[in-house]
Amino acid sequence: MAVYKVTLVFALFCVVLQAQRPFYAGKRPIGYPEIESNVEANQFGENGNLPIEANGDWNLIKRLSELPEDKQPFWFLNWKQYDDLRKNPQTYPLRPNNFANNN
């Protein structure tokens, strides 16, 4: 009888663990997706300075750099300035809150 109780407890334990994640969500944990490494995209290293708008497509950057300057998109012409702005955004000081500082 004790073997049945242990088996039942173990089976319930397994069912509870499997119920935490649906079968169609896959076996991998939730987080960053698994991405295949692209040899062409990795030619400048993992930390290559690439604009966000290009979505990691080095071929797009090559094609856009071959276009005349008046035909290139605005984000491509100013992507270094955009990068600097994203790394060091302009911040404003907060005004004191009159309602929260009533001690």
User: Over 80: is that where the pLDDT of 79 sits?
Assistant: yes
Tens digit of pLDDT for each residue in 9-29? 999 988 887 777 677 776 666
Local structure of residue 25 (DSSP, 8 states): G
Torsion of CA 43, 85, 67, 71, to 10 degrees: 160
Question: What is the mean pLDDT of the segment spanning 75-100?
Answer: 82
Given pLDDT bands bounded at 50, 70 and 90, which one contains residue 66? very high
Cα 66 from Cα 72, distance rounded (Å):
9
Local structure of residue 18 (DSSP, 8 states): H
Domain, as residue range, for 61: 54-89
Q: Residue 21 domain-assigned? A: no
Provide the domain count of the chain.
1
Q: How far are the Cα atoms of 10, 11, 14 from residue 2, in angstroms, in the given order?
A: 12, 14, 18
Q: Residue 81 domain-assigned? A: yes
